[in-house]
Amino acid sequence: MSNISEITAANSGALQEAGKTQETGKTGHYGKTVGKPQLSEAGAKYYEELKKKYSGMDFVLVSKDMKEFAKQNAGSYGNANRMVVLIDEEKIERMATDENYRAKYEGLISKAQSQMPQLQSVMANQPGVKTIGMTVNDNGTASFFAVMSKSNQDMTEKIAAKRAEKKAAEKAEAKKEAKKEQMEKLRAGHTDKSEKVPDDDDDYVILQADSVEELVKKIENYNFSLRADSVQTPYEKSIGQSIDFKG
């Protein structure tokens, strides 16, 4: 699927809870960060004002060398209850001193905030939506993202039952194989007590869009595709039928 990037647990390590002072004239403690952003005193003061002005949003400050990383791994910095705003240190510095530049980018954030009721409705009515956020881009635009569960088990009770049965069978087989390997190692005299059967990791994808309206449409299409792939048998797909969940 185009415009979808997979995220992994390793990427979430880039999210840090506080910046630390490393340069003269720079300040730290910005809240959530990606990389090691450093703001001037004026920049830091403005950033605090910005966060207070849009207190219903969850800001993440990105260092200039981590902008592409943050954009590609946006889902790692998600908040399930509020829209995430990824914004880099360079924009904050310029917004602090350039009124026209500030008005332009605050306008993007304000517009996104005004669309929160629509996005919250989507999260409430579309299963599998874990996080919704926005990235403030270099070209004066904003892009939006939604973190979606690949294995959307709350799509229907029947899908949940099928997947739970399959997962249980796979886990039982994995434990059986792991036990067999451990027994072999025990016999060989080099058992590692720290070894264990890994649990199944949650799989997610990121949907990206240039507007809230486009993002909503992509979420709906994604869930429709997931439901169709999960519920219909190959025969049903070939004749365009669907399962009657009332039965």
Q: What is the pLDDT of residues 190-247, one digit of tens each?
A: 333 333 333 344 567 889 999 999 999 999 998 888 777 655 545 444 544 444 444 4
Which tens digits make up the pLDDT trace of 71-124? 777 767 766 678 999 999 999 999 999 999 999 999 999 999 999 888 888 888
pLDDT in tens, 57-74: 999 999 999 988 887 777
Residue 240 backbone phi and psi in degrees, to 5: 75, 20
**Who wins on pLDDT, 15 or 122?**
122
pLDDT at 182: 64
Q: Which of 128, 134, 100 is nearest to 202 (CA)?
A: 128
Judge whether residue 23 has pLDDT over 50.
no
The CA distance from 133 to 147, in Å, is 9
Average pLDDT over residues 45-63: 95
- For the chain, give the number of residues: 247
Contact 38, 19 (CB under 8 A): yes
Determine the Cα–Cα distance for residues 37 and 212; give it in Å rounded to an integer.
28
